[in-house]
Amino acid sequence: MHYLGLILVFATAASAIDLRMYYDSVICEGNAFGCSNLNPGVCCTGNGAGGRSMGWSSIPQGWKLQYESSFETLCEDLRTFRVDTFDRTCWQARDTVWKSGGYSFYNAKRHAKALDGDTTSKDCQKADTFFHENGQQYDITSMNDDQVSELVALAKNGTAPVDFPEVFKALEKSE
């Protein structure tokens, strides 16, 4: 039985999901920042910045997940919803912005408890990736908040990644 548990742990680690906060889109398109390869039960925070929509992608087929979003920075007062198997899903913030989110495996008993008001915060991870609308990704873990804001401003102004300053080009992730 321990072997099954180990297999599930390794499968989860190999199949972690990307969470993206789309700051200018309510339909999960365009530029975003978030956490790549986010593990279940971990909160991804934009450290005060947020997105008008939040999307989860790279979802392995057959996974039954509960998605979690918060208007707070550290996944407090979570809004949860469940969607059956899709490769990606999107949730719109309407008149405000999502500032943090995550996911967990769906469990009917736990879900009932969450509906009764158990919306405690969880372990948090700062956003680690800027996702450019053309598909390029940038590692933002070593950047301070001003540098991240500059990168976002360049993308918002329509600057193509080829025209980004060298400091940002050096942080491009290889696929």
Q: Which pLDDT score is estimated for 116?
A: 45
Residue with tokens 């889109």: 25
The two tokens of residue 130 are 């800027």
CA 163/CA 53 separation, integer angstroms: 27
Over the stretch 33-59, which tens digit does the pLDDT of each residue have? 999 999 999 999 987 778 899 999 999
Q: Which pLDDT score is estimated for 156?
A: 87
Q: 94 by DSSP, 3-state: which?
A: coil
Torsions phi, psi for 160 (to 5 deg)? -75, 145
Containing 12, the helix (H) or strand (E) segment is helix 2-14
Containing 32, the helix (H) or strand (E) segment is strand 32-38
Higher pLDDT among residues 22 and 109, named by residue: 22
Over the stretch 2-32, which tens digit does the pLDDT of each residue have? 444 434 444 444 468 999 999 888 999 999 9
Q: Give the closest residue to 101 by CA, choosing from 19, 166, 157.
A: 19
What's the Rg (C-alpha) of the chain?
A: 16
Q: What are the extents of the domains in the chain? A: 17-169
Torsions phi, psi for 61 (to 5 deg)? -60, 135
- Band of the pLDDT at 127, cuts 50, 70, 90? very high
| Order of strands across the sheet that contains 42-45 | 79-83, 65-70, 100-105, 42-45, 123-126
| pTM for this model (two decimals) | 0.79
